[in-house]
Amino acid sequence: MSKNIPPFRFQPQFQYRLLGGGKLKTKLNKNCKDEGIGESWRISAVDGFPSVIEDGQWKGKTLPEMNAAFPEAILGKKCIASYGNTFPLLIKFIDALLPLSVQVHPND
């Protein structure tokens, strides 16, 4: 397969949170019937919650599958050299009914 891959879109993953609000459904016009949705995960390689491509040539494939097939196209040589082959980010929108505390997750 080619090193150049076209952009793809992922299906959002809605995550229930105790203090989740309703703006992720109304402001982002997302079709979700659940209440208390506090997070919309947009790009994830988290075990058990990988992003799934929603259309096109690779519909149904997960981000980890695509990353394994095209590591340099997705991560780039510098990222792989510095951090390895694992996709390093979780990109999400957060909606809370009340202000949240600032959280820091230092490296292990």
Say if 106 falls within a structural domain.
no
Indicate whether 99 belongs to any domain: no
Within-domain flag for 78: yes
What DSSP element (H or E) covers 63? helix 63-69
Residue 100 belongs to a domain: no
- High-pLDDT (> 90) share of the chain, %: 43
- Judge whether 5 and 82 are in contact, CB under 8 Å: no
Q: Structurally, how many domains does the chain consist of?
A: 1
Q: Do residues 90 and 41 touch, judged by C-beta distance below 8 A?
A: yes
Please provide the average confidence, as pLDDT, over all residues in the chain. Answer: 85
Residue 88 lies in a domain: yes
Residue 10 lies in a domain: no
At 2, is the pLDDT very low, low, confident or very high (cuts 50, 70, 90)? Answer: very low
Is the pLDDT at 108 greater than 60, yes or no?
no
Residue-wise pLDDT for 23-72, tens only, equals: 877 776 666 767 778 888 999 999 999 999 999 999 999 999 999 999 99
Cα dihedral across residues 62, 75, 55, 40: positive or negative:
positive
Enter the tokens of residue 68.
Answer: 């394994």
Structural domain of 51: 22-30+42-93
* Per-residue pLDDT, 1: 39
Position 47 in a domain = yes
